[in-house]
Amino acid sequence: MYKIKFPREVCNPRRHTVASEDEFLDFVNSNISCTDIFTNVYNFSEFIPPFMYPVYDSAIIDRIYFDCDQKVREGSTYVMLPAYENMLKIHEWCVSRDIMHIARCTGTAYDVVIFTDPEFKPKNKKECVANAQMWLSKHLGITIDPQIIGDIARIHRVDNTFNHKDTAKRFVTQLDKNLIYAGEKKIFEEVKKQTFRQEIFGDKYWDISQFDTPEKMYSSAPTINIEIDESELSDIADNLPPCIKKLLSIESLGFQERRLVILALRDNCYTLQETINILKNHLSKNKFLHCTRDERQPQYLYKKGKYLFPHKSEIADVGACDLPEGEYCNMAEHGCLLYRRDR
């Protein structure tokens, strides 16, 4: 894969951290025959010891990821998309400008990674990525998977691994100049066997500096109406541990801190609606709408059981845990399940 660095996560789909290329390849070779295998789209510059979990906000933005799916969910229904044609539109836009990129068949659909200048370090990483993704999508008149918009913790399939879905049963394969225009039927047939193709198109980086703004320039998610029952807001958070109460005292809570709060509430058996109520009662209006409407962070984390509440060290890293190293909350007193997991 193109310029991946270590440590990094490798997933099946549970996330594991590997410290080196040898560990990465050992994991892939041990799991390729039985599970789908993913890794981070982005490299990271900061990690949480001792397990070296990546700090997602430290993502190195040297590429922009596009997921061209066959269908996306809109409301309660799925809308079918011309995934192959959408991939080709991105490819041809890049080729016409000599911009570096790779295109892959992922088994049932396609993705494209466009490479950007590694010397450019955006101040607003999530917004910059989201703006670049949405601008090109609108410019080309295509629809991409909305879940990837601005997601710097995104994972994608590892090259040359097997997609075990019943609708796929194919290998994740880079498309070279001989295969990319062969048509979807030919591509799907070719990638039933493992072929170590590699083709990086173009020589120039995509300049994304214009997209580095504090706010998203394009709407990336439909407006949703969140019904709030004001009667539920009184003392719903009284049994939370001190670290989570401390985080909830910050109206402008950041993405990672909100993630800790949401996972803590979820793992302490609060319903999704109760969690949304708590966030509304404690966050500023802008942060609440950004979290629940734009990012849909609670809705996403409640659906993804693979994301577990982090170790105490992560809570300490954001300044929310005041206990000395090696000490933990009184779980009985706080009704806290946060440290039950053995890591």
Summarised one tens digit per residue, pLDDT across range 187-203 is: 999 999 999 988 999 99
Range 12-18 contact pairs with CB under 8 angstroms and sequence separation of 24 or more: 12/36, 12/37, 12/38, 13/38, 13/155, 13/306, 14/306, 15/155, 15/306, 17/47, 17/51, 17/52, 17/53, 17/54
- Please state, for a pLDDT cut of 90, what percent of the chain lies above it: 52
CB 154 within 8 A of CB 80: no
* Helical residues (DSSP H) of 36-105, grouped into ranges: 83-96
- The 10 Å CB-count burial string (b at 16+, else e) for 105-141 is bbbbbbbbbbbbeeeeebebbbbbbbbbbbebbeeee
Of 64-68, 81-85, 299-303, least confident by mean pLDDT is 299-303
Cis peptide before 324 (omega within 30 of 0): no
DSSP label at residue 145? -
**CA-based diameter of the chain, in Å?**
65
Token digits of residue 1: 């894969």
Cis peptide before 7 (omega within 30 of 0): yes
pLDDT of amino acid 75: 57
User: What does the alpha-carbon distance between residue 126 and residue 120 come to, in Å, rounded to a whole number?
Assistant: 14
User: Is the pLDDT confidence value at 330 over 90?
Assistant: no
Q: Any idea how long the chain is?
A: 343
Of 4-18, 91-105, 180-194, 259-273, least confident by mean pLDDT is 259-273
CB 130 within 8 A of CB 145: no
pLDDT of amino acid 242: 78
What CATH number is given for 60-211 in this structure?
A: 3.30.70
Mean pLDDT of 223-235: 43
Q: Which amino acid is at 248?
A: L
Task: Confirm whether pTM is higher than 0.95.
Answer: no
Between 42 and 49, the more confident residue is 42
Between 329 and 25, the more confident residue is 25
CA distances to 203, 245, 263 from 317, rounded to whole Å, are 40, 16, 16
User: Is the pLDDT confidence value at 331 over 60?
Assistant: no
Phi, psi angle pair for 297, to nearest 5°: -65, -50
Count of CB atoms situated within 10 Å of the CB of 42: 24
User: What does the alpha-carbon distance between residue 63 and residue 42 come to, in Å, rounded to a whole number?
Assistant: 8
Mean model confidence pLDDT for the chain = 84
- The 10 Å CB-count burial string (b at 16+, else e) for 245-271 is ebbbebeebebebbbbbbbbbbbbebe
Q: Can you give the residue ranges of every domain in the chain?
A: 60-211, 230-334
Mean pLDDT of 72-89: 84
Mean pLDDT of 53-62: 92
Count of CB atoms situated within 10 Å of the CB of 59: 23
pLDDT of amino acid 158: 97
pLDDT of amino acid 287: 87
pLDDT tens, position by position, 235-270: 455 667 778 888 888 888 888 888 888 988 887 778
